[in-house]
Amino acid sequence: MRIMKWGYLPPNSMHMGVVGCCGVKIEGTSALIAGGASGLGEATSRALVEAGAGVVIADVNSEKGEALAAELGDAATFVAADVTDAETVSAAVARAAEGDGGLRISVCCAGVGWAERVAHKGGPHNLEMFSKVISINLIGTFNVLSQAAASMSGNEPDEEGERGVCVNTASIAAYDGQIGQIAYSASKGGVVGMTLPAARDLSSRGIRVMTIAPGLMDTPMLAALPEEHRQALGAGIPFPSRLGRPEEYARLVADIVGNTMLNGETIRLDGALRMPPK
């Protein structure tokens, strides 16, 4: 018997199962995309439908959600849902679970931003807005994660023992929060902090949990900026020196779904950007 060394694969290892595809199969699988009507969520909804999944688009924006579902055809369904509301998220999860094999993929892209310093000339940071950002970005993400995982627990495991995968969305602001980003950074830092314990909690159920921390992405959040400002932001990214594309986020979601060993980790998607203080 030959001993394998790191970096070495014996002849015919493909036939031994050392190298091969694993993870949740996208084609024919039911997926839930929270915040799926625009930006990163829209790109993910499109990518998963194109890959053969049945997708439930859950969003507070009914107009955009219904239009996107109509455009994507029979493989997509829109369900009005607010991530901070347990009942509407439960309804969206239940709708996704009706697909063949149950809900197997959950992606949470819902989020908001708010810029304000901890203290300023007008007084302290608006506590109501701080709470709102935490409620949507952190508690809302947990709401989707916990309800999706509960549904996935009832799935039949695949050959790897896997029942599903949950992908959450943080931000590089979780690590490089700028001046005025106290609420946003705290909320996204919480999403990062949930990732490992959630993966450990759900390991016995065969459910993986991953988080993506995007950098500066070309989403509606930046669309309101003048084009010269958008170009300047992109130029500050080491490589590629441009804003990230929502399709690149969606591609990473698909990679995570298909790789069972990716679990309990946050992946930065930022072109090596490290944000300055302001």
How many domains does the chain contain in total?
Answer: 1
Helix ranges (H only) for the chain are 13-16, 39-50, 62-72, 86-97, 127-134, 140-152, 173-176, 182-202, 220-223, 227-235, 246-257
Residue 277 lies in a domain: no
User: Is 9 inside any structural domain?
Assistant: no
Q: pLDDT category, 8, cuts 50, 70, 90? A: very low
Q: Answer whether residue 11 shows pLDDT above 60.
A: no
Active site residue 249: no
Q: Averaged over 95-120, what is the pLDDT?
A: 95
Cis preceding linkage at 240, omega within 30: yes
CA distances from 149 to 117, 145, 195, 204, 271 (A): 36, 6, 13, 12, 31
Pairing of strands 164-169, 54-59: unpaired
pTM of the model: 0.90
Backbone angles phi, psi at 199, to 5 degrees: -60, -40
pLDDT value of position 107:
98
Any residues with CB less than 8 A from the CB of 101 and at least 6 apart, and which? 28, 29, 30, 155, 156
Q: Give a yes or no: residue 276 inside a domain.
A: no
Higher-confidence residue of 109 and 276: namely 109
- Of the candidates 250, 256, 219, the one whose C-alpha atom is nearest the C-alpha of residue 44 is 250
Is the sign of the CA dihedral 125, 117, 38, 86 positive or negative?
negative
Indicate whether 17 belongs to any domain: no
pLDDT reading at 29 higher than 80: yes
Predicted confidence (pLDDT) at residue 9 exceeds the cutoff of 70: no
Highest-scoring range by mean pLDDT, 15-24, 90-99, 112-121, 215-224: 90-99
DSSP 43: H
Q: Is the pLDDT of residue 10 over 70?
A: no
In a domain, 12, yes or no: no
Determine which one of 8, 175, 184, 249 is catalytic.
184
The residues pairing with 107 across neighbouring beta strands, listed in sequence order, are: 33, 167
Q: Residue 128: give its domain's CATH number.
A: 3.40.50.720
- Give the amino acid at 227: E
Whether 69 is covered by a domain: the verdict is yes
Domain presence at residue 91: yes
Q: Which domain holds residue 49?
A: 24-269
Question: Is 130 part of a structural domain of the chain?
Answer: yes
CA-based angle 35:134:247, to the nearest 5? Answer: 30
Residues 6+ apart with CB under 8 A from 49: 55, 72, 73, 75, 76
